[in-house]
Chains A and B, each alone.
Chain A
Amino acid sequence: MTQYFFYFLSFLAIFFAALVVLSKNPVHSVLYLILCFFSIAGHYILLNAQFLAAVHIIVYAGAIMVLFLFVLMLMNLNRDSEPPKSWQGKVAATLAAGLLLLVFTASIKGADALPSGNQPDNTVGLLTNLGKTLYNDFMLPFEVSSILFLVAMVGAVMIGKREEVSE
């Protein structure tokens, strides 16, 4: 049963991802991307990680995508403002991406033959276990990530702030 859900959700995710790239209208792209995120959230639930699924939807679909929409609207981007791309570029990009896909699939093919004693704990996604792992084992990375956010914040403010006309 889970297997069917997995394949179904994977199909949806890939399908919407393809639409994100193919649709001409940027606003449509964003909406397809939200749908894609929802399908991936479904994968989290399949992996017994309900909390991550919820966070995924709230952060990506809720916060980030809304931000994207704002940007699109503020800059008034639509079908017409899209610069035309050369067909050579399109062919090259498709070829390159296709080759990458081929290589990845080929190299990950043997994934089911993992060495023994190596199966990850499937309850780690539960909220309590996640919290314990995060605040025990990964305490230091958790703290260090605060530096990362601080940098991002300072940078965002600095770049976003309107320049005072001085001197």
Chain B
Amino acid sequence: MTNLSWLIPVLPLLGFLLIALFAKSLPKTLVGLIASGTVLGSFIIAVSIFLQNDGTAHTVKLFDWISSGKLHIPFAFLIDPLSLVMLLVVTGVGFLIHVYSVGYMSHDERFAQFMSYLNLFVFFMLLLVMGNNYIVMFTGWEGVGLCSYLLIGFWFKNTDYNNAAKKAFIMNRIGDLGFILGVLLIWVTFGSVNYSEVFSGAEGFTKGDKVITAITFLLFIGAMGKSAQIPLYTWLPDAMAGPTPVSALIHAATMVTAGVYMIARSNILYTLSPDTLNFVLFIGLGTAIFAATIGLFQNDIKKVLAYSTVSQLGFMFIALGTGAYTAGVFHLMTHAFFKALLFLGAGSVIHAMSGEQDIKNMGGLRKHLPITYIVFLLATVAISGIPPFSGFFSKDEILAHLYAHSPVLWGFALLASMLTAFYMFRLFFLTFWGGFRGTKHQLEHLHESPLVMTAPLMVLAVLSVLGGFLNVPEIFGGNLALKNFLSPVFEASELRSFDPHIGHQTEIMLMAIAVGMAGISIFLAYSRYVANNEVPSGDEKEMSWLEKLVFNKYYVDEAYDAAIVKPLNWISRKSEIFIEKQLIDGTVEGSANFTLHLGGLLRQLQTGHIGFYLIAMVLAVVAIFGYTVLF
């Protein structure tokens, strides 16, 4: 079955080609069928490979891609536990979102194009997680960036959406520069970009080696861009301009977790450089708290979810930073379930509200959207970390590792976790409880979404509830199934890192504190938004300076604008005048004019007279004889 693995990315690619080529002649139903069917096919193959996998890594080589001098890059796939987990998440969640999109986008006139982009995205994402070397990963990495750009700006007639797409692309490019430099440094250091050779080569290095630290740091810059960490996170909230299924698939479940996957994949390198790991930890923690506070005051349903995603990604990087790679991957997985569900639920709400995204104008939707209400509740509970929902297990594992690492940092992470519970329930109560605050027109059109949209919601709800049981900790009599499954991948790292163990007593205490804090947050949210019926005004005049600061997202965008964009513009304006116009244009145009002039002279030689040609040739022969005899 492993031999068939090449089909996994090829199927969505085929889907993309089919739809893109015959977009005009295919009926919408068929487009939907092809797009979802190909991803389903990939999912089925991934499942069957998963069922047969015995924990060993298989390499499936398709062909030699580039070889030049010492550089040999095969186009090959690596099938091991880590890539299998990612494959299942990408194809599984991807399939559900494809199905949902068929319903969500059915009225859009560029439906076929949308589905083809989605398929193309899945193809690149699969390349990213399946490649057996950094170059194939980079291909996928760039490809998903491209698809993200195309899909954010899908409704390209809106200038703001286009700007958001551009912003996402440019922010990602900054990160990509770090990534590609890291890959180059890997090639220079190890003479190869294949995982197997790099990782076995890395085992010869001592912990804290400077080169490894540089490599991991550069790679992490790439991860900061793709996974929206401080300071490169600002693109993700803007990326919500894309259609909601895109936000669910790309900007919550899959693409933004590419950075987490990359670090988990390169775990041995990171384990060898504790400095980078600490850096990752602080960036992750900072992002988790920072984004969570911004989430408190946002009124756009998708923006709240976007900041929540940034914050949750921070949690994943906290896990990676403490060396708990399994916990990071575990949270990646559960987050994919409940965040995809939240976005799709939000999509369902927006769909019902005829495009309204502001929660100030919602409220009381539970009566009108019962299915959406229930699944949204389940997902909200899951993300808040209430047992036995999936988010509880994965977040708890991260917190436990962090406590073992440093109790002070644990305190900060707990704060972020509390804030999460608060803003999520604030969102939930404002949307579904209380009275309806929208227009009369919207009220008349309120309706539950069709089955094609709610069915994926229900499947995801089941996963959000039960997903945590994939890795039940020992204190609950679990067997850490995911950890054992992934252990071959992280074996080398675990040998090298000290795993601080905390007693069962402490662990239970930590859980109790976390759950209790979450409960308090929920109660606070309830008392404020349900009992007191408070509705955020969104009016800046009524806010304190602190609220204002947070409401405006700490003015980070404005700060970037003032600190980077404006000076850059100033420099480029000056450069245009002095360097471009005078220095470069002078030289370039001068040499170009010279060449053109030369061309004008040389073409005179081509006279067309045979006599001249023959004499020229004879003289050339004489010259050659003369030259070879003389020298």
Direct contact of A and B (CB under 8 A): yes
A-side residues, CB < 8 A to B, are 89, 92-93, 96-97, 99-100, 102-103, 106-107
- Contacts A106-B629, A107-B625 given: A100-B611 contact, CB under 8 Å? no
Q: Is the CB of A93 within 8 A of B611?
A: yes
B502 at the interface (CB under 8 A from A): no
Q: Is the CB of B629 within 8 A of A107?
A: yes
B80 to chain A, nearest CB (A): 58
Chain B residues with CB below 8 A from A92, complex form: 615
* Interchain CA distance A97-B622 in the complex, whole Å: 10
Chain A residues with CB below 8 A from B626, complex form: 103
Given A93-B611, A99-B619, A106-B629, 4 other A-B residues pairs in contact with their CB atoms under 8 A: A99-B618, A100-B621, A103-B621, A103-B625
B149 to chain A, nearest CB (A): 57
Chain B residues with CB below 8 A from A99, complex form: 618-619, 622
Chain B's closest residue to A104 (CB) is B625
* Interchain CA distance A148-B625 in the complex, whole Å: 32
- Contacts A103-B626, A106-B629, A107-B629 given: A93-B621 contact, CB under 8 Å? no
Chain B residues with CB below 8 A from A96, complex form: 615, 618-619, 622
* Interchain CA distance A97-B619 in the complex, whole Å: 9
* Interchain CA distance A89-B609 in the complex, whole Å: 11
A-B contact pairs, 24 of them (CB 8 A): A89-B611, A92-B615, A93-B611, A93-B615, A96-B615, A96-B618, A96-B619, A96-B622, A97-B618, A99-B618, A99-B619, A99-B622, A100-B618, A100-B621, A100-B622, A102-B622, A103-B621, A103-B622, A103-B625, A103-B626, A106-B625, A106-B629, A107-B625, A107-B629
* Interchain CA distance A107-B625 in the complex, whole Å: 8
Chain B residues with CB below 8 A from A103, complex form: 621-622, 625-626
Chain A residues with CB below 8 A from B619, complex form: 96, 99
- Cβ proximity bits B295-332 to A, threshold 8 Å, 1 near / 0 not: 00000000000000000000000000000000000000
Chain A residues with CB below 8 A from B611, complex form: 89, 93
- Cβ proximity bits B613-631 to A, threshold 8 Å, 1 near / 0 not: 0010011011001100100
B625 to chain A, nearest CB (A): 4
Chain A's closest residue to B619 (CB) is A96
Secondary structure dominating the interface of A: helix
* Interchain CA distance A99-B611 in the complex, whole Å: 16
Q: Which 3 pairs from chain A and chain B are nearest by CB? A: A103-B625, A96-B618, A99-B622
B613 to chain A, nearest CB (A): 12
- How many chain B residues touch A (CB < 8 A): the figure is 9
B232 to chain A, nearest CB (A): 69
* Interchain CA distance A96-B615 in the complex, whole Å: 6
A93 to chain B, nearest CB (A): 6
Chain B residues with CB below 8 A from A93, complex form: 611, 615
* Interchain CA distance A133-B15 in the complex, whole Å: 66
A94 to chain B, nearest CB (A): 10
Chain B's closest residue to A86 (CB) is B611
* Interchain CA distance A99-B626 in the complex, whole Å: 10
Chain A's closest residue to B617 (CB) is A96
Chain B's closest residue to A99 (CB) is B622
Chain B residues with CB below 8 A from A106, complex form: 625, 629
- Cβ proximity bits B179-198 to A, threshold 8 Å, 1 near / 0 not: 00000000000000000000
> Which residues of chain B in 576-631 are interfacial with respect to chain A, using CB atoms and an 8 Å cutoff?
611, 615, 618-619, 621-622, 625-626, 629
Chain A's closest residue to B625 (CB) is A103
A99 to chain B, nearest CB (A): 5
Chain B's closest residue to A93 (CB) is B615
* Interchain CA distance A103-B622 in the complex, whole Å: 6
Chain B residues with CB below 8 A from A100, complex form: 618, 621-622
A90 to chain B, nearest CB (A): 10
A26 to chain B, nearest CB (A): 18
Chain A's closest residue to B622 (CB) is A99
* Interchain CA distance A96-B622 in the complex, whole Å: 8
B609 to chain A, nearest CB (A): 9
* Interchain CA distance A107-B615 in the complex, whole Å: 20
Chain B's closest residue to A100 (CB) is B618
Chain A's closest residue to B616 (CB) is A96
* Interchain CA distance A96-B619 in the complex, whole Å: 6
A107 to chain B, nearest CB (A): 6
* Interchain CA distance A93-B613 in the complex, whole Å: 11
B620 to chain A, nearest CB (A): 10
B413 to chain A, nearest CB (A): 84
A82 to chain B, nearest CB (A): 15
B629 to chain A, nearest CB (A): 7
A121 to chain B, nearest CB (A): 31
* Interchain CA distance A89-B626 in the complex, whole Å: 23
A83 to chain B, nearest CB (A): 12
Chain A residues with CB below 8 A from B615, complex form: 92-93, 96
Chain A residues with CB below 8 A from B629, complex form: 106-107
Tell me which of B619, B621, B622, B626 has the highest count of chain A C-beta atoms within 10 A of its own C-beta: B622
Chain B residues with CB below 8 A from A89, complex form: 611
B614 to chain A, nearest CB (A): 8
B84 to chain A, nearest CB (A): 61
* Interchain CA distance A89-B629 in the complex, whole Å: 28
> Which residues of chain B in 8-54 are interfacial with respect to chain A, using CB atoms and an 8 Å cutoff?
none
* Interchain CA distance A93-B615 in the complex, whole Å: 6
* Interchain CA distance A107-B628 in the complex, whole Å: 10
A68 to chain B, nearest CB (A): 20
* Interchain CA distance A100-B629 in the complex, whole Å: 14
B402 to chain A, nearest CB (A): 83
Tell me which of B618, B619, B621, B629 has the highest count of chain A C-beta atoms within 10 A of its own C-beta: B618
Chain A residues with CB below 8 A from B625, complex form: 103, 106-107
Chain B's closest residue to A97 (CB) is B618
B386 to chain A, nearest CB (A): 88
Chain A residues with CB below 8 A from B621, complex form: 100, 103
Chain A residues with CB below 8 A from B618, complex form: 96-97, 99-100
A111 to chain B, nearest CB (A): 15
Tell me which of A97, A100, A103, A107 has the highest count of chain B C-beta atoms within 10 A of its own C-beta: A103
* Interchain CA distance A92-B619 in the complex, whole Å: 10
Chain A's closest residue to B628 (CB) is A107
Chain B's closest residue to A103 (CB) is B625
Tell me which of A92, A93, A97, A107 has the highest count of chain B C-beta atoms within 10 A of its own C-beta: A92
* Interchain CA distance A158-B626 in the complex, whole Å: 44
A104 to chain B, nearest CB (A): 8
B526 to chain A, nearest CB (A): 93
B227 to chain A, nearest CB (A): 68
* Interchain CA distance A103-B621 in the complex, whole Å: 9
Chain B residues with CB below 8 A from A97, complex form: 618
A8 to chain B, nearest CB (A): 29
B328 to chain A, nearest CB (A): 72
* Interchain CA distance A103-B628 in the complex, whole Å: 11
B421 to chain A, nearest CB (A): 88
* Interchain CA distance A135-B594 in the complex, whole Å: 61
* Interchain CA distance A96-B621 in the complex, whole Å: 10
* Interchain CA distance A100-B617 in the complex, whole Å: 11
Chain A's closest residue to B624 (CB) is A103
Chain A's closest residue to B626 (CB) is A103
* Interchain CA distance A151-B622 in the complex, whole Å: 34
Tell me which of A89, A96, A102, A107 has the highest count of chain B C-beta atoms within 10 A of its own C-beta: A96
